[in-house]
Amino acid sequence: MNIVVCIKQVPASSNVKVDPVTGVLIRDGIASKMNPYDLFALEAALSLREKAGGKVHVITMGPLPARQVLMEAIYMGADDGILISDRKFGGADVLATAYTLSSAIRSLETPEEPVDLILCGKQTTDGDTAQVGAEMAEYLDLPQYSNISSLTLSEENPKALSVVSTLGSDILSASIDLPCVLCTDQEINTPRLPSYLRKQASDPRMNELIRVLTLADFKDSDPAHYGLNGSATAVERIFPPDKNDEHVFLQGDPRESAQKLLDLLKARKIL
């Protein structure tokens, strides 16, 4: 099975501050790490490879230092990595990002080695939109499920997977034909850890293991379809939601408390 896993570098701290004036994430001095949700997608891919054979390729979009996140995936067991890197991809919104990833995947495919499965984490911890996987599936014209909490080879059909998608209080069990796009949730597995021996073996081979794709390598190389130009939306402002830690505890007789609550809601013009 030929599997592509989409991964992203995100700030390593969950406490990244947002500049209250410009609304931009203050990334200076903050180390990067692999988006935590992508770890589950990668583990799902590696487990599937163990059963079905094939290859696991990891793909990310970003400047040259983003190679590190691909190397980390290789330390975990991925076969190789693809870095999509071109200034023309800069400023992409989720739609343009999804299109860029889908174009890269189409450009990588050969008739001999078609892509059977594309795995993503269900969302990133910096953007939190959870839209790229689904939009990518649209561009690739592939079936897609999100929130995958279980993923196994189908017993009946060698060209299908059995999946479980956890949607709040509902659980959906389905069989999905390959090729397809699946976005994994954290319940699906415990990701394996990066290996020192694999690091030792792969670091000297970084240039061979990681292929860099630029716009020129794409089948659709029209710059109007990528980056800022290809984006349907623009972020006007990012801001942390107002925090309100105020609590009022009303204790004592329930009738009195109810009256106090009513007075309070009226006083604040909520009622």
Partner 1 sequence: MYHSMTSEDIALLREIIPADRVLTGDEILSDYFHDELSGTHSEPEALVFVLSTEETSRVMKFAYERNIPVTTRGAGTGLVGAAVAVHGGILLCTSRMNHILELDEDNLTVTVEPGVLLMELAAFTEEHGYLYPPDPGEKTATIGGNISTNAGGMRAVRYGVTRDYVRGLTVVLANGEVVELGGKIVKNSSGYSLLNLMIGSEGTLGIITQATLKLLPLPAVSISLLIPFRTMDEALDTVPFLVRSGTNPTAIEYMSTDVILYAQDYLSKKFPDTSHDAYLLLTYDGQSQEEAEKNYSEACRLAIEHGAADAYFVDTDERKKPVWSARGAFLEAIKASTDEMDECDVVVPRRKIADFIKYTHQVARELSLRIPSFGHAGDGNLHVYICRDGLEQSLWEEKLAAAFEKMYKKAGELGGQVSGEHGIGFAKRPYLRERLGEVQIGLMRRIKEAFDPKGLLNPDKIFTLSDED
Nearer of residues 106 and 192 to partner 1, judged by Cβ = 192
CA distances from 122 to 6, 131, 203, 241 (A): 11, 8, 29, 22
Q: Which residues pair with 177 in a beta bridge?
A: 160
- Of the candidate residues 196, 216, 219, 244, the single one contacting partner 1 (CB under 8 A): 196
Let me know: does 46 contact 194? Beta carbons within 8 Å: no
Q: Tell me if 251 contacts partner 1 by CB under 8 A.
A: no
267 contacts partner 1 (rule: CB under 8 A): no
Choosing from 68, 162, 195, 221, the residue that interacts with partner 1 (CB under 8 A) is 195
Residue 193 Cβ vs partner 1, minimum distance, rounded to whole Å = 3
Cα–Cα distances in angstroms (integers) from residue 114 to residues 69, 86, 89, 232, in the given order: 24, 25, 25, 30
CA–CA separation, 154 and 129 (whole Å): 30
Beta carbon nearer to partner 1, 121 or 133: 121
* Cα gap 106→67, rounded to integer Å: 21
Number of residues that bind partner 1 (CB under 8 A): 17
Which listed range, 20-28, 188-196, 233-241, 243-251, lies at the site for partner 1 (CB under 8 A)? 188-196
Distance separating alpha carbons of residues 147 and 186, to the nearest angstrom? 8
Residues in 40-79 at the binding interface with partner 1, rule: CB under 8 A: 75
Q: Which residues bind partner 1 (CB under 8 A)?
A: 12, 14, 31, 33-34, 36, 39, 75, 189-197
